[in-house]
Chains A and B, each alone.
Chain A
Amino acid sequence: MMLLDVKNLKTYFYSKRGVLRAVDNVSIGVDRREFISIVGESGCGKSTLAYSIIRLVDTPGKIVDGKIVFDGRDLVKLSEEEMRRLRGKEIGMVFQDPMTSLDPLEKIGDQIVETIIEHERVDKKEAWEKASILLEKVGLPGDRVNYYPHQLSGGQRQRVMIALAVSLNPKLLIADEPTTALDVIVQEKIMDLLEDMKKEDRAIILITHDFALAADRSDKIAVMYAGWLIEFGKANKLANEPLHPYSEGLIGSVPDVWEDRDIKPMLGFLPDLIDPPKGCRFKPRCPKAMDVCDKEPPTFSVDGRVVKCWLYGENNG
């Protein structure tokens, strides 16, 4: 059984202008000890998908349909109270900007201790000891428990966030653009740390816009476009031979440090998700569009990969 099995998930936002289909019929499975990256441009729905999994989508957003089966339970059906107990304990989350999720007026140690005491039956002293062990595990000196967030650098704060996220030993860790604001060298160390967290029998979901980073680090890559999951499969195969024209376009538009690449800009813009194009949402930007693309493509299975594109339909395969 998969650790996480998202089935036909729909998360919509209800605005004055109409219904915005941020996550539209997405199905994705994550195995134990698997490192999955969800890649796409801003506005493609990748963060909404992540926030849906831990049920932290704010109004006007709402999960309208689908299942999120985690470790045998459908999270969509859980009560708010059950969900609150599950967050942190079974699914940990690391956010992009640690400064907005850490309390500036509280010592690092207090913040970790608070989380531990909330969920586990330990006294304060034990919890403090655990906090400094956790900090050492993420590569910070244990005495940093006595520091306030502003006394740490951006990279160190992100390490604290990871320590917090794994403090209750969750089976799944979701990281939403954890290194976007950091320098490459710090990014490398944070990514190493995420990989270490995977070795502890934990699955990782990384949300990123950086395709090269996803290719470098993950077992599988999921590519999202305009609320759809358009391709999902093994990372190195997907990065080297993308099937979907959008994946191909995105990979072809980024330079690589090790080779001279003739990068090609992508045409057009993301569609308006309140009034998306009929049929395939990528059609207006697609260099390979055909007549059939006026109909929404189903998700085809090709060689262990799933791809939502008519190019891989029976008539065209």
Chain B
Amino acid sequence: MAEVIEVKNLKKYFPVQKSVIEVLLSKKIEYIRAVDDVSFKMEKGEVLSLVGESGCGKTTTGRILVGLEEPTDGKIVFKGKDVTKLSKEEFRKIRKHLQMIFQDPYASLNPKMKIGEHLEDPLLIHNIAENREAKELALQMLERVGLVPAEQFYNRLPYQLSGGQRQRVAIARAMILKPEFVVADEPVSMIDVSLRASILDLLMSFKAEYSLSMLFITHDLSVARLVGDRIAVMYLGKIVEIGETRKVIHHPKHPYTAALLSAVPSFLKREINIEIIGDVANPREPPSGCRYHPRCPFAKEICSKEEPKLEGKGHLVACHFPLDLDL
């Protein structure tokens, strides 16, 4: 299968804001390494679930991939071209192939813009359609995402819609450009439970129709399992494990993945109990060696000294003492 996107050694460091006094004393600038040397590839039609706790860098990774954030270092190769090296003009041309669906449907729509305009705008901006044709396409899309009668929804304003309906608009807006790569950032975490399944269904139907590649960001491993062909687990800016969904869930190799799995509520009681010690470290001062070692019940001396590499065939793990579990 064809490779759509390749991320190589991606880094994003955010400077920590200093107080005036610190500036006067010319203290050294500290950085939060939100994304620290992340690499992965995605194929056409593939869904990669990116999981981890808040602050692990998963959203920042997604934002960089669609050009909403500039990386500090690293490459993003989209269909053979390094997009980090493109000029603004060149980037605009491929921008329509890279779309993002945000977590909060209350913040991602313009409160003063009609629903229909949300869908027409991208078509007009990218010169895909003229006015009348754009309206026609917008109406078709509204129908496609289940906002019917489309004519009525076209004229509504965001405040007249429920959270689930707004998320349908956000999905429609991303999909109307027939993108090749979509980042979905926790698209159902703010949606009521009984409506989540229908939103996920809708996303998956687009994925099948357009053979989309999708980076699906979530903190919920049960959703990650449902949608992902593969799962990548992030901890403090690094991918610690990546592999096929079933392998990662039933044979986790990294102690952090196993700890996450033991914490997920489930209808099927699995007796796994891999401990996790204490709280997440301060991202300003990530621990030496393996960043997970202070929380790891299996840590040995080497873990605090040497950073493990992400290694393996297909199912990769960054751990000096990977687990061998069958869950």
Contact = CB atoms under 8 A, between A and B. Distances in A.
Contact of B249 (A156, A251, A257): A257
B264 A257 contact: yes
Interface residues of A, number: 37
A17 B327 CA distance: 54
Interface residues of B, number: 35
Contacts of B196: 253-254
B262 to A, nearest CB: 7
Interface string B178-201: 000000000000001111111011
Contact of B194 (A41, A188, A212, A260): A41
Contacts of A266: 194-195, 197-198
A89 to B, nearest CB: 31
A82 B201 CA distance: 52
B249 A250 contact: no
A118 interface: no
B265 interface: yes
15 contacts: A184-B220, A187-B265, A212-B264, A212-B266, A215-B265, A215-B267, A216-B265, A216-B269, A257-B249, A257-B264, A257-B266, A258-B266, A259-B268, A265-B201, A266-B195
A254 B267 CA distance: 10
B193 A210 contact: yes
B223 interface: yes
B9 interface: no
A274 interface: no
B279 A216 contact: no
B192 A41 contact: yes
A185 interface: yes
B24 interface: no
Given A41-B193, A215-B267, A250-B193, A188 B219 contact: no
A249 interface: yes
Nearest to B200: A263
A43 to B, nearest CB: 8
Nearest to B164: A269
Nearest to A214: B265
A183 B276 contact: no
Interface in A197-230: 209-213, 215-217
Interface in A230-247: 239-240
A269 B259 CA distance: 36
A46 to B, nearest CB: 12
A264 B197 contact: yes
Given A42-B192, A183-B219, A258-B270, A212 B53 contact: no
**The 5 A-B residue pairs with the shortest CB-CB distance in the complex, in nearest-first order:** A265-B198, A188-B263, A255-B226, A265-B197, A213-B265
B9 to A, nearest CB: 27
A261 interface: yes
